[in-house]
Amino acid sequence: MDQVVEGMWLVPGGSSNWVIVKDPGSSSFTLIDGGYPADYGRLLGSMRQIGLRPQDCRVALVTHGHVDHIGGLQKFATEFGGPVLCHADEVRNLVGPQREQVTIGRIVPRLWRGRVRSWLRTALSLKALEPVSITPAGVFHDGETLHVPGSPTVFHFPGHTSGASAFLFDTAGQRLLVSGDIAITAHETLPDQTPRLRILPSMFHRDRTQAQASLDQLMALQPDVVLPGHGPTLRLTGSDVADRRA
């Protein structure tokens, strides 16, 4: 678990991350994403480790409706009743069962790569095939600042999925960007595990070209720190930004 700044944590699950942002004046908090279905115990454990009670979750924000980001949230919302919000264009990915997600037909031709087989084994062990459906309590819009702990501003960056969104926090003079799968720093299927900002391999995107354009637009926000959907937190320097296409 990475405490990025006072009151904000990036938590690595079995394969993907979630983020917890505590309200400075109370015990309530914002949760962003929630791992695979089998991450649920880890999700609750991460709150308790920080000293937060699951029932004090004010809202769960969703970067996008892939099973590695909403699997744990379904159980969480059912048990604790916290409202789940997503972008209007992402609602059908949360509800399912059809969603803009990598298909077995796109995975099979790549199974000759050991790292793809290894990722698939991990995903299945985290119950990637368990049925997941969340009906969001509401939607947010591009440019909206949400009145929830941390007061993030929403940025809609389609491409990975139709309604993929990032959340920008202005905390202690730093611009902290929770990027979901719009910008990741590492992933089991990538040959180079050195953390740097990039998009996932093409099989994971609804529209790879749009996903690349969205990464460029996200970088134009000039975040100081990126908390990605996969891989560790990245603190950016000027050269990181210049080298991001390298």
Sites of contact with Zn ion (CB under 5 A): 16, 66, 68, 181, 229
Report the phi/psi class of residue 231: left, alpha or beta, with left for phi > 0 and alpha for psi in -120 to 50: left
- What H or E segment, with its residue span, contains residue 29? strand 29-32
| Cβ at position 119, least distance to Zn ion in Å | 11
Task: Identify which of residues 58 and 92 has a Cβ nearer to Zn ion in the complex.
Answer: 92
Task: Identify which of residues 98 and 239 has a Cβ nearer to Zn ion in the complex.
Answer: 98
| Cβ at position 142, least distance to Zn ion in Å | 19
| Cβ at position 34, least distance to Zn ion in Å | 12
**What is the CA angle 79-81-82, rounded to 5?**
125
Task: Identify which of residues 68 and 90 has a Cβ nearer to Zn ion in the complex.
Answer: 68
Any bridge partners for residue 165, and if so which? 156
| Cβ at position 69, least distance to Zn ion in Å | 6
Report the C-alpha gap between 105 and 59 in whole angstroms.
35
Neighbours of 2 (CB within 10 A): 13
From the number of C-beta atoms within 10 Å of its C-beta (0-12, 13-18, 19+), residue 209 rates as exposed
Task: Identify which of residues 16 and 171 has a Cβ nearer to Zn ion in the complex.
Answer: 16
